[in-house]
Structure 1
Amino acid sequence: MDASGDRIVGLLVRCRFDTGDVNMFTGYGSVTWDGVTYLGAGQALSIGEAGVTSGDDIPGLTITLSGLDPEVIALAELEEFQRRRVTVLLALFNDQGQIETADVLWDGIADTMDSDDSPDAATTTLGMEPRSMELGRKFPFYYLPEDQQRRFPGDRFFDLVQAIQNREDTWGRP
């Protein structure tokens, strides 16, 4: 956390995994913001730089946890992390260590996880891509009963589409 005038600037990180959320911040102790409690990771939590590019390149962001127990790294590697949402907030703390305000600095999707479980410097780095990358992906969905059943089991709406697609109606004819 850095001092800025009489305020302290810090980062809140919220990772939403299947087994539960992991909420950390770049300080010590614990703080609560918007109903979520963040545990302090201090110097063990570092966030990479998000660059600005031109053209088709969209930069990512990395979060690194260092000084971890190798067993914790092994558990992290078993977690299903890809395509899970990660949000980084920029927070202003008062001199008592309470959050005054916070705003989204980064909203992305977890992509890669690299681990180094050496005894002297055990680290885990989570690589993320921005959520805007989702806009360029094609999601195969067709207006077929099978696709509708996968998304909404029991819904029979598209069963009628195939029955009426080649039907010739005589609307308004004698």
Structure 2
Amino acid sequence: MSLFPETIALALAGGKPECANLVKFDFASETVRLWTGHGPLETNDGALWLGTGELGGMSGIEQAVNGQAPEGTFTLSAVDADIMRLARDEFAEEVRGRIARVYIQFFGVDDPDDPDNQRPLDNPYPVWAGRMLTPTFAFDAGGERSVTISAESLFSLRSRPRHAMYTDRDQQHRFPGDRGFEFVGSLVNKVLTWPDW
């Protein structure tokens, strides 16, 4: 079974599939779903996404290569003073450390109920996830406000042990008498000859 059966069927029939990005923010009090188009969008999984149009943007959403984990940023422009205040005052408890997910959604079938839009094909497909870190605020010369949230890719934590260190002291604290990490310090930059006849 293919990953995008409806999209592939449309392409094979001579249609021209298009796609858009969707972003799901898992805030502490609620989940917010946004997409890069205009107006509300109901996807085939029943979720409702609010359109940001030209007021929303994102960057840094790319695959982690060569051991690097790029940082993503999400920007919302033309926000009012209340949103700026909420982003500043409630960010720590509401947003910091929470997950943001990016999806792609394919389109291609004209929607007779909405001539300016197209119906979604298949379900949204996740392409990136990150942990939200810090907000930044900007004001342009015309007084327009914007809020940007940075997020580190979940791939950036791949080499960090969960609440532990690979040391003898940490191992002894957890399991007294265990000698599994006793020689870890002596193995750094050690040259081993193998096989040793």
Normalized against structure 2, the TM-score is what? 0.62
Q: CA deviation at 1:112?
A: 1.8
2:144, 2:100 → 1: CA distance? 24
Per the alignment, do residues 117 and 140 of structure 1 end up closer, same or farther by CA in structure 2, a change over 3 Å counting? same
C-alpha contact 2:21 2:103 (8 A) present in aligned 1: yes
| RMSD of aligned alpha carbons | 2.8
C-alpha contact 1:68 1:122 (8 A) present in aligned 2: yes
C-alpha contact 1:73 1:117 (8 A) present in aligned 2: no
C-alpha contact 1:70 1:117 (8 A) present in aligned 2: no
For residues 87-112 of structure 1, what are the alpha-carbon distances to aligned partners after superposition, in whole Å with 9 as ceiling and x for unaligned? 11111123322211331121111122
**Which amino acid in the other structure matches residue 39 of structure 2?**
G
Of Structure 1 and Structure 2, which has the larger fraction of its residues in strand?
Answer: 1
**Gaps in structure 1 of 5+ consecutive residues:** 142-161, 167-174
For residues 10-53 of structure 1, what are the alpha-carbon distances to aligned partners after superposition, in whole Å with 9 as ceiling and x for unaligned? 11110001010111101111112323210011011111143567
State which of 66, 74, 78 in structure 1 corresponds to 2:77: 66
Q: What percent identity do the matched residue pairs reach?
A: 23
Per the alignment, do residues 108 and 53 of structure 1 end up closer, same or farther by CA in structure 2, a change over 3 Å counting? closer
2:117 corresponds to 1:108: no
Per the alignment, do residues 54 and 12 of structure 1 end up closer, same or farther by CA in structure 2, a change over 3 Å counting? closer
State which of 141, 156, 181 in structure 2 corresponds to 1:133: 156
State which of 68, 76, 97 in structure 2 corresponds to 1:83: 97
C-alpha contact 2:68 2:156 (8 A) present in aligned 1: no
2:106, 2:65 → 1: CA distance? 31
Deviates more, 1:75-84 or 1:57-66: 75-84
Per the alignment, do residues 28 and 51 of structure 1 end up closer, same or farther by CA in structure 2, a change over 3 Å counting? closer
Q: Secondary structure at the match of 1:133?
A: helix
C-alpha contact 2:18 2:106 (8 A) present in aligned 1: yes
C-alpha contact 1:93 1:99 (8 A) present in aligned 2: yes
* Number of residue pairs the alignment of both structures matches: 143
C-alpha contact 2:40 2:49 (8 A) present in aligned 1: yes
**Gaps in structure 2 of 5+ consecutive residues:** 1-10, 112-117, 165-174, 178-197
Per the alignment, do residues 52 and 39 of structure 1 end up closer, same or farther by CA in structure 2, a change over 3 Å counting? closer
